[in-house]
């Protein structure tokens, strides 16, 4: 097994690469109708030619986030030791995130960089990430989510849900935000078709009001919904506090919160019971480990939001195998995701118990097809309309 001396892990190149593809089978959610999918891949190269890969969330501005990586972050980090993940995180925080802004954009940019550094660390010692983080390989329960199960006639939604059940999923996330009446109709239809064979979560994608929550709470309770995700904007703490008093269904949030400093308030507020950091948004693997520890102290589970390629998916699974308060893994079951199916490889399929397992290769254990990135350059314009 190859070992790399620490001195050979000097960072000599950092690249943020934005990539897109048009969506042929569009899905409508609370945030709009998908017309394309974007991803932002980060490549870090060391002096010894060891390469690490990560994924930053595109933030609906993938070209801008890539430019931030390729200029500001590159200038801050080039020449540092790739194994010094905490030192690199702190340098970006002090020099950029804390004092000069770019806030959420910087958090997303540094998340993919941090993933790539952990990928290098694992490759340097020949260990999969979960082992490097102090965890162990184990099954992680998965739910069917991602860009799927959108606003459509109840019959079509039931067909999609039943097909996912046949694939082995034991939990599924429906999309709310199409008006309380239609949302409830879809929930009732899917629950009637599935019975108690699959757990159901729902996600309003920040499009609800307090009145909407009040209207759907009885139906969610009746049909055993596990959580109501992001009914409001992430900064609307007052509405979250109010909504938490309206019924028994727990509230979930976190995919649009950034770094432990925002999660600190989210947890302290006490309204949200399901914590959902995204490893491509919240500050990367280094920061999500800190967020998980804070949540563990309050007996709250971590259920990461995932997007869009196998890199972020693998990072999420590895991290869930290395914390004591792991919840569900969100599987992107979109019928069309070239980032999952062509750009990256190495993820195992769902097992017979509806669980996923971490890749066993060193680092993230994911292979990246660089020719795909060349063949699929950034498509300008919004991803949702």
**Model pLDDT for residues 220-250, shown as the tens digit of each residue:** 999 999 999 999 999 999 999 999 999 999 9
Mean pLDDT for the stretch of residues 76-91: 98
What pLDDT is attached to residue 149?
93
Say how far apart CA 134 and CA 8 lie, in whole Å: 24
Structural contact between residues 245 and 238, judged by C-beta atoms closer than 8 angstroms: no
The lowest-confidence range among 29-38, 142-151, 291-300 is 29-38
Asked if the model's pLDDT at residue 101 lies above 80, the reply is no
CATH of domain 6-126: 3.30.390.10
Say how far apart CA 293 and CA 23 lie, in whole Å: 38
Q: Where do the structural domains in the chain lie, given as residue ranges?
A: 6-126, 130-371
What pLDDT is attached to residue 102?
65
Asked if the model's pLDDT at residue 100 lies above 80, the reply is no
CATH of domain 130-371: 3.20.20.120
Residue 106 phi/psi, 5-degree rounding, is: -65, -40
Mean pLDDT for the stretch of residues 262-272: 97
What pLDDT is attached to residue 219?
98
Say how far apart CA 267 and CA 275 lie, in whole Å: 8
């Amino acid at each position: 097994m190859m070992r790399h001396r620490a001195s050979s892990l000097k960072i000599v190149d950092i690249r943020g690469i934005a990539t897109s593809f048009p969506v042929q089978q569009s899905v409508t959610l609370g945030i709009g109708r998908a017309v394309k999918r974007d991803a932002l891949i980060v490549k870090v190269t060391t002096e010894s030619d060891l390469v690490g890969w990560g994924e930053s969330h595109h933030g609906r501005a993938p070209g801008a986030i890539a430019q931030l990586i390729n200029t500001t972050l590159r200038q801050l980090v080039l020449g540092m030791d790739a194994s010094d993940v905490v030192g690199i995180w702190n340098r970006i925080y002090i020099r950029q995130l804390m004092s000069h802004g770019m806030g959420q954009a910087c958090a997303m940019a540094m998340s993919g960089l941090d993933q790539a550094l952990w990928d290098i660390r694992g490759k340097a010692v020949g260990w999969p990430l979960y082992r490097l983080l102090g965890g162990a390989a184990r099954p992680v329960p998965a739910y069917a989510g991602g860009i799927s199960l959108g606003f459509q006639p109840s019959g079509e939604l039931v067909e999609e849900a039943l097909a996912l059940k046949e694939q082995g999923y034991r939990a599924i996330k429906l999309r709310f935000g199409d008006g309380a009446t239609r949302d409830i109709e879809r929930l009732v239809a899917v629950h009637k078709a599935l019975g108690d064979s699959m757990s159901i979560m729902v996600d309003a994608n920040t499009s609800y009001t307090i009145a909407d929550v009040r209207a759907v709470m009885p139906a969610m309770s009746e049909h055993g919904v596990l959580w109501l995700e992001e009914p409001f904007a992430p900064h609307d703490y007052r509405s979250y506090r109010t909504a938490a008093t309206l019924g028994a269904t727990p509230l979930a949030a976190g995919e649009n919160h950034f770094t432990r400093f925002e999660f600190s308030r989210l947890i302290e507020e006490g309204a949200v019971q399901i914590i959902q950091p995204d490893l491509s948004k919240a500050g990367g693997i280094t920061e999500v480990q800190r967020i998980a520890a804070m949540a563990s102290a309050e007996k709250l589970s971590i259920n990461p939001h995932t997007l869009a390629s196998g890199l972020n998916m693998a990072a999420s699974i590895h991290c869930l195998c290395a914390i004591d308060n792991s919840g569900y893994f969100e599987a992107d079951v979109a019928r069309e995701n070239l980032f999952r199916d062509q750009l990256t490889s190495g993820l195992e399929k769902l097992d017979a118990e509806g669980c996923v397992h971490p890749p066993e290769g060193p680092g993230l254990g994911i292979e990246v097809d660089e020719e795909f990135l060349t063949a699929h350059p950034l498509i300008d314009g919004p991803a949702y309309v």
